[in-house]
Amino acid sequence: MTSQNFGPEEAAKLEAIERMVASLREDAGQATESLADRAADRVAGIVGSWKFLLSLITGLVCYMGFNMWLARSMA
């Protein structure tokens, strides 16, 4: 933000606020995640992937096909 439209007092206050915001952003970036947060992120990354979803659907279709074949062969 430019401080050219403000007086010297206002510009100093603005700079102090900007430094405080920058410091808070740095602190937030350095916050460590708990083990549960990391585990949840990893599970969501695997279960939410297209590779997992497509393999799950393929497995279900194969399972259904096998059961249908088995039911016909026993009838």
Same domain, yes or no, for 13 and 25?
yes
**Which two three-digit tokens encode residue 6?**
């403000």
Same domain, yes or no, for 24 and 48?
no
Sign of CA dihedral 22, 23, 28, 29: positive
pLDDT score at 68: 97
pLDDT score at 2: 55
Same domain, yes or no, for 45 and 66?
yes
Q: Which domain holds residue 41?
A: 34-75
Rounded mean pLDDT, 66-72:
96
- 14 and 3 in contact (C-beta within 8 Å)? yes
> In the chain, how many domains are there?
2
Q: For all residues of the chain together, what is the average pLDDT?
A: 87
Rounded mean pLDDT, 39-63:
91
Rounded mean pLDDT, 34-51:
87
Same domain, yes or no, for 23 and 52?
no
Could you tell me the pTM of the whole model? 0.46
**Pure H helices in 1-75:** 8-29, 35-47, 50-74
